Amino acid sequence: MTKLNHIGVYVKDLERSTKFYKDVFGFPVVNRFTSGEAKIVMLDIGGGLLELVQRPGSPGTPPQGNWSHVALHEPDFDERLSRLEKMGLELRKVTRDNGERLCFFRDPDGHMVELMEKGF
């Protein structure tokens, strides 16, 4: 079966974004390398990798179009929400008709991150 390997996002400041994902989620860095002018950090997000790419002249802003967010299952939903609130992040909380909770917020480059209490 084909499986997710990684999701790549362009960032303006590689160290700031790496610190953000490590501080918010505890995602460990599994690789750090360059490819031409690009500086790349790979973070283990459980079941796949998050690739942060800083490249001169590349956009750090989220792409336009249908791509809108990365969704992550959060087994410790209440504790994570508390930590996000203490960090001062702007949170958009949603409760589905079935009672399941979601939370949306943006990373330092404006990429939308969704936390799912139950996952799928």
The domains located in the chain, with CATH, are 1-57 (3.10.180.10), 67-120 (3.10.180.10)
Label residue 114 exposed, middle or buried (CB < 10 Å: 0-12, 13-18, 19+): middle
Span 67-109, pLDDT tens digits: 678 889 999 999 999 999 999 999 999 999 989 999 999 999 8
pLDDT score at 31: 97
- What are the residues facing 32 on neighbouring strands? 41
Kindly state the tokens that stand for 111: 């990429």
Check pLDDT > 70 for residue 120.
Answer: no
Six token digits for residue 19: 């610190």
pLDDT digits (tens, 9 = 90+) for 5-52: 899 988 999 999 999 999 999 999 999 999 988 999 999 999 899 999
Q: Count other Cβ atoms within 10 Å, centred on residue 59.
A: 12
